[in-house]
């Protein structure tokens, strides 16, 4: 039986780690044993993975080769190794594959050239791989699922404000602020989320550069300023610069914005929103938050472009508007007028066929086809 050795050495927890967790559970349900090599400083895996998955902390990529034994095996990287790091594994005869969790537009593709096979989480990412000259790509997009296991909550779940900052301890400024900010926060009264009057838009995401939230809101905040019935709730955390730049972009509506930090029970968060807002599209790979929101019955407002057109059914689970960088937010402004006059709701009956594509059953079928392709290519590689 084929054994899958996965590698995810991220020190924190984000969409790639959520994806790794439900991918691991799917492998096990399909009868594929798996071992996961992780960063020793990441404490989240034990609570997110079944006991059947062997989790091995490793200090570096170099440590992995010594833990694989003598025979060659199938390695699947969620955090790809560079060509030099991967070279010893190649020489040992291992089959190296990687999941591309990000599109390659604007990124150096060199680190993926040494892999025998690359899987992509969306057609948008597949296209970016081909455009970068990476052609050993599994043809079917490996769309994810709305994985709310242990993160669901209900509409009655209490949401308390947390820090909006995810400190980068490699930076002196962030190290200093990571000591000072908790002292400041401790002096403030605890805030509990309650809906404010009006129409609630929400961000539920890590506040990372790939989302391009500051650039988005520099374009659409003037439109929001003209519609006082809309307010924005921000659930997520990011580096100091990311949060700072987002706050600056939101100045036109700063009296209608609240920051709540990263939340565990995101299902409860989605159910407290009227609409989920996405970031800008081209650096986004899939958008697990979009799948989660739709599963909770929360409609999505997104730019009319991939990958969002892969995950949102227009007029059924959400609504599109034109890229505001092309029309200075005019299409978004028109959408706000429309929603203020007539709210949009997800129809559970009409959305079922669309959402079934992102179910655990559909994902398992995609992984089963991936396994067939991988086994065939491994056989060819061995010959």
Ordered by start, the domain boundaries in the chain are: 4-145+359-382, 172-356
Which pLDDT score is estimated for 90?
87
pLDDT score, position 382: 65
Fold of 4-145+359-382: Rossmann fold (3.40.50)
Lowest mean pLDDT among 302-306, 328-332, 349-353: 349-353
Please give the Cα distance from 146 to 268 (Å, whole number).
Answer: 14
Residue 210 near residue 283, CB atoms below 8 Å: yes
> Using CA atoms, how far apart are residues 141 and 286, in angstroms rounded to an integer?
10
Q: What is the pLDDT of residue 383?
A: 63
Average of per-residue pLDDT across 159-186: 78
Q: How many alpha carbons fall within 13 Å on the CB side of residue 375? A: 10
The pLDDT assigned to 380 comes to 78
Give residue 151's pLDDT. 75
| Per-residue pLDDT reduced to its tens digit, 294-319 | 999 999 999 999 999 999 999 999 99
Percent of the chain scored above 70 by pLDDT?
97
Give 70's pLDDT tier (boundaries 50, 70, 90). low
Mean pLDDT of 257-285: 95
Q: Is the C-alpha dihedral spanning 215, 211, 165, 98 positive or negative?
A: negative
Query: CA-CA distance, 306 to 312, in Å (whole number)?
Result: 10
Domain 172-356, what architecture?
A: 3-Layer(aba) Sandwich (3.40)
8 Å CB contact between 6 and 20:
yes
% of the chain surpassing 90 pLDDT: 72
One-letter-per-residue 3-state SS of the chain: CCCEEEEECCCCCCHHHHHHHHHHHHHHHCCCCEEEEECCCCCCHHHHCCCCCEEEECCCCHHHHCCCCCCCCEEEECCCCCHHHHHHHHHCCCEEEEEECCCCCCCCHHHHCCCCEEEECCHHHHHHHHHCCCCCECCCCCCCCCCCCCCCCCCCCCCECCCCECCCCCCHHHHHHHHHHHHHHHCCCCCECCCCCCEEEEEECCCCHHHCHHHHHHHHHHHHHCCCCEEEEEECCECHHHHHHHHHHCHHHHHHEEECCCCCCHHHHHHCCCEEECCCCCCCCCCHHHHHHHHCCCCEEEECCCCHHHHCCECCCEEEECCHHHHCCHHHHHHHHHHHHCCCCCCHHHHHHHHHCCCHHHHHHHHHHHHHHHHHHHHHHHC
pLDDT digits (tens, 9 = 90+) for 180-219: 777 767 777 889 999 999 999 999 999 999 999 999 999 9
Residue 120, C-beta contacts closer than 8 angstroms, at least 6 positions apart? 99, 100, 126, 129, 137, 138, 141, 142
The whole-number pLDDT of residue 26 equals 96
pLDDT tens column, 206-265: 999 999 999 999 999 999 999 999 999 999 999 999 999 999 999 999 999 999 999 989
The answer to whether 36 and 54 are in contact (CB under 8 A) is yes
The band of 71, judged by pLDDT with boundaries at 50, 70 and 90, is: confident
Q: How confident is the model at residue 1 (pLDDT cuts 50, 70, 90)?
A: low
Which residue reads 């020489």 in tokens? 91
pLDDT at position 190 is 86
Residue 272 confidence (pLDDT) above 80 = yes
**Same fold for the pair 4-145+359-382 and 172-356:** yes
d(CA 378, CA 38): 24
CA dihedral (329, 334, 337, 338) in degrees, to 10, reads -130
Which of 97-106, 150-159, 358-367 tops mean pLDDT?
358-367
Going from the C-alpha of 217 to that of each of 251, 294, 300, the distances in angstroms are: 9, 23, 16
Higher pLDDT, 122 or 170: 122
Q: What is the pLDDT of residue 155?
A: 74
Mean pLDDT of the chain, nearest integer: 92
**Dist. CA 112–CA 99, nearest whole Å:** 10
Q: 184: buried, middle or exposed (CB in 10 Å: 19+, 13-18, 0-12)?
A: exposed
* First-to-last C-alpha distance (Å) of the chain: 18
User: What pLDDT, in 10s, does the model give residues 92-126?
Assistant: 889 999 999 999 887 888 888 889 999 999 999 99
Which range has the worst mean pLDDT, 91-95, 138-142, 176-180? Answer: 176-180
Least confident stretch, 17-26, 111-120, 171-180:
171-180
How far apart are the C-alpha atoms of 111 and 39, rounded to whole Å? Answer: 20
Calculate mean pLDDT across residues 375-382. Answer: 81
Q: Which among 67-71, 182-186, 325-329 has the top mean pLDDT?
A: 325-329
Amino acid 141: pLDDT: 96
Between 41 and 173, name the one with better pLDDT.
41
């Amino acid at each position: 039986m084929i054994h899958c050795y996965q590698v995810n050495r991220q020190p924190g927890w984000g969409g790639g780690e959520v994806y790794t967790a439900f991918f691991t559970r799917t492998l096990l349900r399909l009868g594929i044993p798996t071992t996961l090599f992780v960063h020793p400083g990441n404490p989240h895996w034990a609570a997110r993975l079944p006991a059947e998955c062997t989790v091995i902390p490793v200090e570096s990529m170099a440590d992995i080769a010594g833990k694989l034994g003598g025979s060659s095996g199938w390695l699947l990287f969620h955090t790809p190794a560079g060509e030099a790091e991967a070279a010893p594994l190649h020489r040992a005869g291992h089959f190296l594959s990687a999941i591309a969790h990000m599109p390659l537009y604007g990124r150096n593709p060199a680190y993926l050239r040494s892999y025998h096979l690359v899987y992509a989480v969306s057609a948008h990412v597949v296209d970016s791989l081909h455009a970068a000259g990476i052609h050993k790509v599994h043809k079917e997009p490996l769309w994810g699922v709305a994985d709310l296991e242990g993160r669901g909550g209900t509409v009655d779940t209490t949401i308390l404000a947390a820090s909006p900052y995810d400190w980068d301890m490699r930076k002196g400024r962030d190290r200093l602020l990571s000591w000072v900010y908790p002292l400041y926060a401790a002096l403030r009264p605890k805030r509990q989320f309650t809906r404010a009057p009006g129409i609630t838009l929400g961000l539920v995401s890590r506040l990372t550069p790939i989302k391009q939230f500051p650039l988005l809101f520099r374009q659409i905040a003037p439109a929001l300023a003209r519609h006082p019935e809309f307010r924005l709730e921000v659930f997520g955390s990011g580096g100091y610069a990311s949060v700072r730049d987002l706050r600056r972009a939101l100045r036109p509506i700063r009296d209608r914005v609240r920051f709540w930090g990263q939340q565990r029970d995101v299902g409860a968060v989605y159910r407290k929103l009227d609409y989920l807002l996405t970031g800008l599209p081209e650096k986004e790979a899939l958008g697990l938050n979009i799948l989660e929101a739709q599963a909770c019955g929360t409609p999505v407002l997104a730019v009319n472009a991939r990958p969002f057109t892969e995950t949102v059914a227009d007029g059924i689970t959400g609504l599109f508007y034109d890229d505001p960088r092309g029309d200075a937010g005019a299409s978004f402004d028109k959408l706000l007028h429309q929603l203020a006059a007539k709210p949009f709701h997800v129809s559970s009956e009409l959305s079922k066929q669309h959402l079934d594509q992102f179910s655990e059953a559909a994902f398992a079928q995609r992984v089963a086809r991936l396994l067939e392709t991988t086994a065939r290519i491994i056989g060819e590689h061995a010959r």
